[in-house]
Every structure is written in structure tokens, then in C-alpha cells.
Amino acid sequence: MNEEQRSHLLHSSSLFSPPEGVKLSYGTAGFRADASILRSTVYRVGILAALRSFKTQSVVGLMITASHNKVSDNGVKIVDPGGGMLSQEWEPFADQLAIAQTPEALLSLITEFVEKEKIPFDGVLSLVLLGRDTRPSGASLLEAAVEGINSIFGAIALDLGILTTPQLHWMVRARNKGMPATELAYFEQISSSFRCLVDLIPNETERNKTDNTVVVDGADGVGGEKLEVLKSMLTGLVIEVRNTGKGGGLLNDGVGADYVQKEKVAPRGFGSNDVGIRCASLDGDADRLVYFTVPTNSSSKIDLVDGDKILSLFAVFIKEQLSILTKEVKENTNNNSQARLGVVQTAYANGSSTDYLKQLGLEVIFTPTGVKHLHEKAAQFDIGIYFEANGHGTILFSESWLSWLEARNNELSLVSEGSEQQKAALRLLSVSNLINQAVGDALSCLLLVEAILQHKGWSIQKWNELYQDLPSRQLKVKVVDRTAVTTTNAETIAVSPPGIQEAIDAETAKYPKGRCFIRPSGTEDVIRVYAEASTQEAADSLADSVAKIVDRFLGFGSSNQ
């Protein structure tokens, strides 16, 4: 790093002083906080993005969003060249950048990191694609990100405007694969893939059993805005979008997938006229999706169809197509014909969903909470499906198996075009193009759900009857120090403080079908409690009892204070 670059960095960073007394940490969501204190952090993440692009000699992305958080919050995160999240190896450097108190400390940190990582600058291009959601603070924070990127000589910032988070992930991945990486290309790929799946619906399917209309809550965010564009490109599906952000509603306020999934109530703008209709809800940046139906009794909870049920629907469909595809090639010596299909969940997955998936004969793996853990495990399968109950998830197809599938489809088109095997191959190829393999994407998942429901002739009620959820309850307990709790076994067993897991086990044993675990929040000093039991009353009671155990061991009145 030459003297001119060092001088430029010193001057540029002096314009973005970090807020006093604030210590942010880079996690699954990147950095996230009240928007008013984020300009310095976003500027520094711009530097990080430029360095990451130089290091990988690839295009990276930078997204300004706080997803399902309230409108006054915002955040920033990096999209790695493959379309996934920032490499975990770089997260500590991100934390150090954010808390450096002076321009001199920041420069020293960057210089040391560049030397350690041997980041090349000469003869190498750096390109960062930027996107933001519809938050009012987004434009100002994006300017700070551009300043950060431009503070590194040779780095180029390309502002793509207002996007869903999954769109930016998709575009970064596409750009690095040498494919068209525009918003129009994204819309065209998922709409044409949806159309292919609809065209391949078996003739015997009683389509009249499935209403082809879905009403979508856009969370007053970017997803509703983009869905309005996408729906005009679709045939075979009618989408009515509400809460698009144009009616004066506030982003994520009484709307959105997070609100619907956690509160189990209908979002603003949905009521008695929607009873029995298939409804869906996106979150603020459109990377989560849940479905629901409005009950006949306005005072009762909605019938929620969450991420676990979406995962199960996808698993059923893909398993069926694999069975058709391999029906006559079981003697084939090419082992790739027998795809290894796996499902990845977290401990928050409802126990009934896990039992159902295992009964289907599927391999089910558990990971700690966080998309980065789920994504990594899913990538180890030929076809890996992961979802969190909150509605964030996707399907990953390995490159090697997709190559085999394309070759198999070409072979079938020559010897048995129009056969059930070839149709199954085409369906699987269409799913791989429709689903966003970079990250969970509410828009592409919505289209895949709708295509599968039409294919099977299922109503949302039929879909929801795949299995009966065990009643559950989530609570959080404020504590002095959340790091006092450490866990193992995919966060289901508390290792410390000593004795707390034994107390939880003793309480859980009192309830039929009881299951309960605790884990520290990644962002605030709270311990999260999750409980399941045979009845809602029992689940509530178990959660309350375990919350008291947590308070006894770790609360403000405990000896740990």
C-alpha cells in the first residue's frame, strides 16, 4: 500500500467518525443497528468490500438493509463471490474495522491486514455491486458505502438501486459465473422457469381443485414493489399484492413474515373478506416467506404455514421427481443417478416436521441457528434443502449433479422425448433455475410453492395437513451477560453455566412430548427459550418455567450480576 493510498485513506476516514460507546458485531445479518449511528460502519464495510473483491479477484456485493427490523433501523452486509454471505474468516476483521476509534488506528489495521492476506492491487480490478431496500435512511448510507469503496484506489462501486436482498445475491453470483446479471435477467429467469413447471403439470391433475390466486402481504417493503413488476410477467398465476409501501403503511409495522410467523395473526390489510383464501407474507427485504389462511373467527389466530411446511412441500416434490427419474436406471453404474438428497434444519424446527421428513426416508441434519450454518451443510448434498421456521431457506444443487442431470435430459430427449422420466428431469432443471441458490428468496420460493401446489392439485389446507405442528412457545429473558451460556449439539444442550441443563431437563420431563432448549441471542443481552409440548397450555407453561430457571441462574437478581 503506497503513501498516496495511505494519505487518501487517512483523509477519507476522518470524515466518518465512529459513534462513541457503540460496539457492533458482524453476524449472519452483517452489522445492524439504529440507522442514525451507522454511517461510519457502512463506510468501513465499503472498504472491506473493496478489499474482499481485490483478494478474491471477483465481483462482490454490498447490501444496505435491516430486513425484518423496524424502519428506523438499518444494516449492511457483504455478498461473497459465490452469492453467499461473507466468509466467516473475514468476520473478525469486519468487527475490528467497525470499532477502530481513529483514522490512524483504522489505517494501521487495514495495512496490517492487507500484508497478512497478501491482497493484490496491481493489475487487478475490484468491482462492488451495491443495493438497498426502501428504508428512508438507505440513500445516505449507500453514499457512505460508496465513499468507503472509492477510498481504495482501483475499486469501482456500481449502484444498482433499490433491490431485494436476494436479487443482489443472485446478481453477484450470476456476474461471477459470466451470466447476465441485471434485474430483468433475474425476473426473466424465474418467470420462465415457473412457466416451464406449469407447462409440465400432469394432464390428470385436477387443476380446478387449486385456486391459482394468491394474496401477498409485501410488508410495505421492497418485496411488494418488485412483486408488482414480476406478476405482469407470469401466466397461470394471479397475484394480488397488498402492503406495497404506497398506501402510507410503515415498513414491517404490523405486517411482514416475521410479524405473522411470531405473532400468528393476520397482517394489516387482511380480514374477514379473506377467510379461506391462500395468503402469503414477505419480510422487509424479501428473503423470508410464510403462508397463512385467515380464520373464520376474527379473534382467533391464523392458520400458519411456516418455513418447516415450505421445506416439507419442496422435499415431497423433489423426492417424487427423483423417484420418477431413477425408476428405470437403478442398475445404472453411474452413481450420480442416485442423487443424495438431504434436509437441513435448526433446533427451532417443529418436532413434527422433523418426524415427517424422517418418515419420508430423508436424511435430516441439524445445525446451529444461522443461515451460514444451514447453507454450508446443505451444500454437502447433491440436492440440499434448508429452511428455518421463520421462512428463510432455499434449495442447493451441486454443479456435478446438475451436469449429470443436463446430460441425462439430453439423452432422454433423443430416446424417449415426452416420457415421464424426461419430464421429471425437466422439472428438476426448472427448479434449479427458479430457486435462488445463493440465498433464501421470498419471490422465487413463492413461485415454486405455487407451481408445486398446482402440480399436485393441492389447496393450502391440504398442504397444511402434511403433519400437525406440536404447540410451541418462544420467550426471551434479559440477562446481565448472554455469553455466560454456551451450547453444543446444534445449540440444543447448554454446557454452561454448570447445572442449568440438568434443571431444564428435569422441568421438560414433566410434560408429554416436551422439548426445550435455550441459546444466547447473537445481537442483544437476552437468552432465547424455545419450548414444545403436546398442548399449547403445556408449551406455554414449560417455556415460562425454563425462563424462570434462566433468570435464576443468569438474571439481574442472580449471583452472576
Tens of pLDDT, residues 118-162? 999 887 789 999 999 999 999 999 999 999 999 999 999 999 999
Hey, how many other C-beta atoms are within 10 angstroms of the C-beta on 218? 31
The answer on whether 34 is annotated among ligand-binding residues is no
The ranges assigned to domains in the chain are 3-162, 197-302, 308-446+455-464, 472-554
The answer on whether 441 is annotated among ligand-binding residues is no
pLDDT for residue 416 is more than 90: no
Cell numbers at 506, concatenated? 428435569
| Of 7-11, 396-400, 524-528, the least confident | 524-528
d(C-alpha 225, C-alpha 510), whole Å:
49
Mean pLDDT along residues 237-243: 96
pLDDT for 182: 96
Within this chain, domains 3-162 and 197-302 share the same CATH topology = yes
Helix (H) or strand (E) holding 259: helix 257-263
Beta bridge partners of 167: none
The answer on whether 272 is annotated among ligand-binding residues is no
Distance set, CA 455 to CA 202, 310, 353 (Å): 7, 15, 22
Angle in degrees, CA 402, 289, 279, rounded to 5? 120
pLDDT for 328: 58
pLDDT for residue 167 is more than 80: yes
The answer on whether 164 is annotated among ligand-binding residues is no
**pTM assigned to the model:** 0.93
Cell numbers at 529, concatenated? 427459550
d(C-alpha 228, C-alpha 377), whole Å:
34
CATH classification code of 472-554: 3.30.310.50
pLDDT for 522: 74
The Cβ-side half-sphere exposure at 308, using a 13 Å CA radius, reads: 24
> Which superfamily is assigned to 197-302 in CATH?
Alpha-D-Glucose-1,6-Bisphosphate, subunit A, domain 3 (3.40.120.10)
The answer on whether 523 is annotated among ligand-binding residues is yes
Between strands 213-217 and 279-282, the pairing is parallel
Q: Which amino acid is at 66?
A: A
Alpha helices in 91-200 (DSSP H): 91-99, 103-117, 138-150, 165-176, 183-199
Q: Which amino acid is at 92?
A: P
Cell numbers at 293, concatenated? 389462511
pLDDT for residue 30 is more than 50: yes
The Cβ-side half-sphere exposure at 139, using a 13 Å CA radius, reads: 1
pLDDT for residue 229 is more than 60: yes
The answer on whether 481 is annotated among ligand-binding residues is no
The answer on whether 520 is annotated among ligand-binding residues is yes
Say if residues 395 and 431 touch (Cβ distance below 8 Å).
yes
Hey, how many other C-beta atoms are within 10 angstroms of the C-beta on 224? 25
Q: Which amino acid is at 404?
A: W
- Each residue of 307-360: pLDDT tens digit? 999 999 999 999 999 999 988 554 444 445 579 999 999 999 999 999 999 999
Instruction: Decide: residue 437, CB within 10 A, 0-12 exposed, 13-18 middle, 19+ buried.
Output: buried
pLDDT for 298: 65
pLDDT for 94: 97
pLDDT for residue 15 is more than 60: yes
Angle between helices 500-508 and 536-554 (to 10 degrees): 160
pLDDT for 335: 46
Between strands 289-293 and 279-282, the pairing is antiparallel
Q: Which residue has the cell 391464523?
A: 302
pLDDT for residue 22 is more than 90: no
- Each residue of 356-394: pLDDT tens digit? 999 999 999 999 998 889 999 999 999 999 999 999 999
- pLDDT confidence bin for 525, thresholds 50/70/90: confident
Q: Which amino acid is at 533?
A: A
Distance set, CA 471 to CA 38, 98, 541 (Å): 39, 41, 11
Angle in degrees, CA 305, 524, 75, rounded to 5? 75
The answer on whether 521 is annotated among ligand-binding residues is yes
What's the chain's average pLDDT? 93
d(C-alpha 440, C-alpha 414), whole Å:
35
Q: Which residue has the cell 444461522?
A: 370
DSSP 281: E
Please list, in sequence order, all residues whose beta carbon lies within 8 angstroms of the beta carbon of residue 560, skipping any fewer than 6 positions away. Answer: 480, 481, 484, 497, 553, 554
DSSP 484: G
pLDDT for residue 78 is more than 60: yes
CATH classification code of 308-446+455-464: 3.40.120
pLDDT for 337: 59
d(C-alpha 199, C-alpha 559), whole Å:
65
Alpha helices in 416-499 (DSSP H): 420-434, 442-456, 460-464
The answer on whether 283 is annotated among ligand-binding residues is yes
pLDDT for 521: 86
Mean pLDDT along residues 431-436: 98
Which entry of 12, 67, 137, 191 is annotated as an active-site residue? Answer: 67
The answer on whether 120 is annotated among ligand-binding residues is no
The answer on whether 193 is annotated among ligand-binding residues is no
pLDDT for 92: 96
Q: Which residue has the cell 411488494?
A: 224
d(C-alpha 449, C-alpha 313), whole Å:
8
Question: Sheet of 73-79: strands edge to edge?
Answer: 31-34, 73-79, 60-64, 126-132, 155-162
Give backbone dihedrals phi and psi of 382, rounded to 5 degrees, phi first.
-65, -45
Could you tell me the fold of the domain covering 3-162? Alpha-D-Glucose-1,6-Bisphosphate; Chain A, domain 3 (3.40.120)
pLDDT for 185: 98
The answer on whether 388 is annotated among ligand-binding residues is yes
Between strands 60-64 and 126-132, the pairing is parallel
pLDDT for 556: 63
In this structure, the dihedral spanned by the alpha carbons of residues 107, 109, 112 and 118, taken in order and rounded to 10 degrees, is -90
Between strands 383-387 and 341-345, the pairing is parallel
Give backbone dihedrals phi and psi of 62, rounded to 5 degrees, phi first.
-135, 120
d(C-alpha 383, C-alpha 364), whole Å:
12
Give backbone dihedrals phi and psi of 115, rounded to 5 degrees, phi first.
-70, -45
Angle between helices 442-456 and 222-231 (to 10 degrees): 50
d(C-alpha 345, C-alpha 386), whole Å:
6
- pLDDT confidence bin for 434, thresholds 50/70/90: very high
The answer on whether 298 is annotated among ligand-binding residues is no
* 126 labelled catalytic: no
d(C-alpha 111, C-alpha 537), whole Å:
58
Mean pLDDT along residues 55-63: 97
pLDDT for 558: 46
pLDDT for 561: 29
- Each residue of 175-217: pLDDT tens digit? 999 999 999 999 999 999 999 999 999 987 665 556 899 999 9
